[in-house]
Chain A
């Protein structure tokens, strides 16, 4: 088993890929009986310190429908200078540049350790990165001030040749012209009217067709770059101007009557931003960064009216079909997201407000384009400030941890087909022989566009085994998948990363134990969770839970060892042992439970869940709990109410929150001020330890988690109490005795109860 764990880890480190099954069932029928689909989590741009990119073009299979990239799995005839494509078996001539090829003189892509390889290619003109700020001005003074400072600060973080633009909005939308001296100039749009891209370009004076129509064509043509750059200027040129401009930004001057929300034209502002980039820089890497401090209240994309007495839609309203703006707004933003994605631009949403801001409606903007979604209480918080700063963080080699306009192409052996993908991508509708008719996630294609991605962006890709039941195990015994990711590097280079992996086939009837042993329960949990969350976006919550339950039961039935109708006899092998627990926590997670979460929060959580890598995803599903006490070094403890002890400090990481919880006794000691007494310095250290650890997490996490420092009985302790397994509740308190743990006031079932039921159902002969 250890070998499998190592294998999995190796693969992940080298290729950024984790499969649910590392030995593949060889027939369609068997595969479906495996319950957890054959799928993988792919981190296309996983940081590889040891992977220097090669500076040439990849060699492609010459079959037009294949075009797979030459890889270590290909059979090569060095004498004939031929290679056979391992996907379509086409025999290809090496290009002239490979004339000197031989067994001892292999190009990198043929070396087994380069199952993942990155090419730098020269294609098309390099265009600088583009950052278009879309800034809400309907903010409180301090918020606006903080936001302005953040934005000003960000200018220094941008690559100097990057283009920046500024759009501000409130009741109106202003597109600021950055090139002019003296008078600051902006184009103003009414916030209530949606405009087509053409109209926007016309109104901004960007339309090209119109210009040639008039006389003086020769004069106009050279001016075009100038025109388009009125709104987008290189940072180094207008650094000062823009800083001043941002400094002078005023709150939206239109009066807001008592009892009203400010009129906020987010929908139009975004539409204009999309239209602007669409017209000027299609198909180049660009970020539209939307900063909003409240819900859109007018025009297309409005989420709520401006009457304060009507609250923003809640899940309750949505269930009752009482959210009158939701569908329309969602549609508006979806359209924008699709347009934006089609042009390779991504949309970030930074929403900071105490109330909801319409993330539910706007989620697709970030989801479909690979943009970031950040939710905070105020722009004047370190949460926002540091998160925003981290957007521009640099990797080990001084490069921005962002890439643009990626195109992910997946190729499979004949026995496999592609069922779909779940992640921050949109379909490119590339039909082909390896596309399955059954869709899981975004399917019907073998190519997806990811407008923006960073080294941790992870997609779930689902496959279908199509080998017929009676067919023999395919020749070579291995199935292969190739991931080709073309993208614009932050240095504006075009790059192609190719990952080719292969796994063994096994006959599920005869070699089930191999398959079972090669099960990656962590990956499987995340992959199933993604499917569940994906369904939850479109289905009712209970249905999803039922589906999840059924899948879990079926899995247990398939792989559990038990005697029929004897729950006590139920056992799961080690490779499955954690899986039910993941599912248990997943069921309780905010990704599937909307109780206690606003629609915005749900959207926010789901957004992040659908793009983080496996580790982070697991943390989201099942938060990590560390205990600090005088009894020993910090240790991970069960996410269980029984872990909550008076003499412990707990550190919980839910990905979105970092909670430091002081046990009852600890809290009393702290209040008594022992930590300030020299003789209790160890107590001081104890208090400090979780803070340091939390800091470490805070440093690296994106988005910056909410940092909560609380104690026993504190109101914020709810963050902890809502996450732990309620093994002790007011219902069973006495049964468990008083000595340990803290009771949770809930009617939720505990893991123990859950497992009992699961066993019962799994062994039941009825199902």
Chain B
């Protein structure tokens, strides 16, 4: 896991290491070994079985054969950092063979071993959390430590300790992978894989004598192992058991365990705070050894894999065997450590060692000989998102991020940090997949790393940061390059004493307009450099002149039109009354510019069912007037004057209207609705008023009434997994596309609030909101009691949030690259301009770049995103964001400056668009393939040579597999039976305009152990990894993904806690109909509620709170979000997927 290389990993490792060291040593003692392997094996076995025969059931994709129930394997975050490289957790495929049954059973309950495992895992999980904590601090120290250690097993161990787990896991994975991959060659599941492995193992052995030997032996054994497979499988169990009880189990229990333990240990140590240590020691050693080396060579992360691969190859058993060896290998592993530590610079040095380490890995194999059986990949040993996030938070959260330096990778989105704009746009506005762009397209193609920027032009800033300054260049408008029309920015070069400037994008030289002239100082900088935001800052705004306005007329202030469905369902559910009540107060909070006293936005009201009702709320009227338009086939606006009004002027009339609407329709029997005419009506109203604006449409049902845009119920689940599945995402008719076009032309943005009780074709209804830059909110089976709060919060936020209208965005780039593709909620009438009728502070546009020429390392690459929009007061403005990036000729530089979260954001959007035109399976395969290529390229070009059995991940991308797996498992790409077509369409559109922070938590939800929260501090409890194993029956957890908040209550939670949180006396009395937590006066309740409130505050949408009791039927829903586990819909567990990735990579490499 090259990932390790990253500083991040380093530290984590380091931290763990200390602990580890202690542990390791002991672990070394031998226990560690067993432990590790076991764990791994266990995992493997699980998967393995799946693979082999049982596979189909387990396997997501039978083809992948991931069947593994990841759960047992679940990665412990800790290890991940260490061993991330080693994906190698082998599913002891072979073992699986044997285990299969076991595995199958194991997951659920079947195999005791499994169950044990799980337990173990759980424990691990917890520890893990602890571990991560440890890491951060320790990490650094460790690194150093690790570095030295490399050679000595012990030392390695130490390093490994932390890493080890990973390493081992990796190995395991690797093993699995290898098995997979190699095995692939050897189709026969485990057996063959093993066989092939042997060969590898050979190499392995070479590397890590000890380990290797095991492998080799394993190979030899393989057969046996195969035969043993079963036994192996068993081992896994032990492994699991081990996991549960690392040391004890490991050592005593199963010989195999030891190896597995090896893995386990590593993972354990990190994961389990205390418990692991012991375990760690044993296993860590092996793992550590591996890790050790890796540390030196981050890239090498893979190094660990080798062993794993080995293991993989050698079915579970070998692994175990390997693991056994690992300890010995450890010495070699040091190399590993190197990698890890390598946190690059250093890492490299070590890398060499790495190599050694790797070999060591093989050794692993050999030594493991004894431990063989346990093949499971210890979840704790594979890269942990939690750990990475924690590390980044600790390392980078404290100091402001200063944007002055070119190509600087910003902190992760999960980290709280301040930004100081010194010439580049804040990462809150722009994030890139890589801050170092390959100089040539060949390189880019080779790496397959997409070059993309995720842009959120109107992002909201924390109060500590200043909004972009408004610059007025006078009547002639902003100063721009004559040729490419780029706007004045900090990168423009002033020449000839300041009389001209050379464009940083196209190199064209432009005269400085007289009124803008300024002398240069001795460094060539303009004297007014610091007085002008456009010369010194990355983000700023220009006041646009009339030339930038539609029809050469300054825009009128925008309008909001509220369009309320008053059909039977809406009235009956109380929705209409609710909306009307809310609007009364909400209208006082329309967005206003700066310090204006009242909002310039005018409002209008429409209700509709099969026909539309417009309201005249002119201030001079005593009573509002209702105008019914039934000619829905040819929509028009029946009135001009009095429809759009100033809230304050017409206050009484509006209030009267809002009072009467619910009464008027109280007895309605109309169940049919129209939809397109509603939008048309709003559009026409805005046209008539000659302004831009936003429609808030509250809609309940499929529009089946006779009218344009009438829809049929075409929901058909049978289409899922067929070539026609894409039609479910496509609109039924092109009518809405054309309508959207018209809307965009007028600056009519549509926000849609849906309250469906059944299918209403979100894919079609969403077309207009989507293309106009609007939002869709969906409240299925809306019930007043439970959903009103959420809806009202969303509505309030949606109405109040900052928004620009009639926006056009263009991204300019310096010569050599060019924006080629755009993702998000907008409309494009040509290939360069992104048009949005409305753009709010939450909307994000992802832009992909391609080379059209060479770049130079000297000049780097520049992006300028210019957004022309109308502010909520009707002022026409240009917002400019500039970003400078580095360019590189070495792939290693590219891989070192990537950002996985952004990458996932891009990949998800890419894939979600792909489902419109390709079968979902194709999209998934393409995703996997691309990631495999990315990683393979790294492995091939950047990682130091190592066994093919090793999985080596770039430090920056060590979370790529886990996140990618989450994307692949998402409802859009792999729907479970309970996911409706509407849900999928909804999520598809939702994700398409998400920013990086949102996709991050959406795909990898945040899981917080509430019972661990410190009621006295403001901080959140440390997150844990999304795996059932990490949950303890005695605790309460909170899981949030940006849309939902689950509060999971274990069956054994203390009554006191239940009483404190829910106000009921026992577990069984907790109602899962609660939509909010009861307000109780006790510290725990307060703390939990404050956490919930805080989380709600962080998200752009109000999340639905769902109480889940363990073993309750709702738990299935909850488990769906435990993304490291195998999902019911067939999604692979993290471990399994890692193995699969490894296999893919290996295939690519061979």
Contact = CB atoms under 8 A, between A and B. Distances in A.
Interface centre among B613, B631, B663 (most CB of A within 10 A): B631
A419 to B, nearest CB: 46
A183 B627 contact: no
Given A183-B623, A183-B664, A202 B640 contact: no
A189 B639 contact: no
Nearest to A173: B638
A647 to B, nearest CB: 59
A199 B707 CA distance: 12
Interface string B1080-1122: 0000000000000000000000000000000000000000000
Given A193-B631, A193-B634, A204-B630, A182 B639 contact: no
A222 interface: no
Contacts of B748: none
Most chain A C-beta atoms within 10 Å of own C-beta, residue among B614, B615, B621, B639: B639
Contacts of A172: 636, 638-639
Contact of B629 (A180, A183, A188): A188
A305 B615 CA distance: 30
B625 interface: yes
A203 B628 CA distance: 9
Contact of B630 (A182, A185, A205, A216): A205
A187 B625 CA distance: 11
Interface in A94-150: none
Interface string B646-664: 0000000000010010011
Contacts of B638: 172, 174, 188
B582 interface: no
Interface in A201-256: 202-205, 216, 248, 253-255
Contacts of B642: 253
Nearest to A202: B630
B626 interface: yes
B631 A189 contact: yes
Contacts of B547: none
A186 B630 contact: no
Given A183-B664, A203-B631, A253 B639 contact: yes
A180 B623 CA distance: 13
Given A188-B614, A202-B630, A253-B642, 11 more contacts: A172-B636, A182-B663, A183-B615, A183-B657, A185-B625, A185-B627, A185-B628, A186-B627, A187-B611, A188-B629, A205-B611
B853 interface: no
A550 interface: no
A9 interface: no
Nearest to B615: A183
Contacts of B627: 174, 185-188
A180 B613 CA distance: 14
A195 interface: yes
A203 B625 contact: no
Nearest to A255: B640
Nearest to B659: A182
Interface string A163-183: 000000000101001001011
Given A182-B660, A203-B611, A216-B669, A253 B641 contact: yes
Interface in B86-102: none
A188 B657 contact: no
A190 interface: yes
A10 interface: no
A308 B663 CA distance: 46
A253 B640 CA distance: 7
Contacts of A183: 615, 623-626, 657, 660, 664
Contacts of B639: 172, 188, 253
Given A183-B623, A183-B660, A254 B629 contact: no
Given A203-B611, A253-B641, A253-B642, A186 B634 contact: no
A268 to B, nearest CB: 10
Given A172-B636, A193-B634, A186 B628 contact: yes
A214 to B, nearest CB: 8
Interface residues of A, number: 25
A254 B641 CA distance: 8
Nearest to B621: A248
B611 A254 contact: no
A255 B657 CA distance: 26
30 contacts: A172-B636, A174-B627, A180-B664, A182-B623, A182-B660, A182-B663, A182-B664, A183-B625, A183-B664, A184-B623, A184-B626, A185-B626, A185-B628, A186-B626, A186-B628, A187-B611, A187-B629, A187-B630, A188-B614, A188-B627, A188-B628, A188-B639, A190-B631, A193-B631, A193-B634, A195-B631, A204-B630, A248-B621, A253-B640, A253-B642
5 interchain residue pairs of minimum CB distance: A203-B630, A188-B638, A253-B641, A187-B628, A185-B626
Contacts of A254: 640
Nearest to B612: A188
Nearest to B626: A185
B634 A190 contact: yes
Contacts of B660: 182-183
A172 B663 CA distance: 27
Interface string B154-167: 00000000000000
A174 to B, nearest CB: 7
Contacts of B626: 183-186
A189 B660 CA distance: 24
Interface in B1046-1069: none
Given A172-B638, A190-B636, A253-B639, A184 B630 contact: no
Contacts of B624: 183
A394 B669 CA distance: 45
A460 B79 CA distance: 110
Contacts of A180: 664
A184 B625 contact: yes
B446 to A, nearest CB: 61
A202 B638 CA distance: 18
Contacts of A177: 628
A184 B615 CA distance: 10
Contacts of A174: 627, 638
A180 B664 CA distance: 9
A185 B621 CA distance: 14
Which of A174, A182, A188, A203 is packed against the most chain B CB atoms within 10 Å?
A188
A184 B660 CA distance: 11
A194 to B, nearest CB: 11
Contacts of B628: 177, 185-188
Contacts of A205: 611, 630
Nearest to A184: B625
Contacts of B636: 172, 190
Nearest to A203: B630
Contacts of A186: 625-628
A607 B630 CA distance: 36
A66 B190 CA distance: 107
Contacts of B641: 253
A204 B636 CA distance: 16
Contacts of A189: 629-631
Interface string B597-635: 000000000000001011100000101111111110010
Contacts of A182: 623, 660, 663-664
Interface string B666-688: 00010000000000000000000
Interface string B723-755: 000000000000000000000000000000000
A183 B617 CA distance: 11
A74 B641 CA distance: 70
B685 to A, nearest CB: 13
A253 B614 CA distance: 15
Contacts of A188: 614, 627-629, 638-639
B3 to A, nearest CB: 63
Nearest to A245: B625
Interface in B257-282: none
Contacts of B614: 188
Contacts of A187: 611, 627-630
Nearest to B669: A216
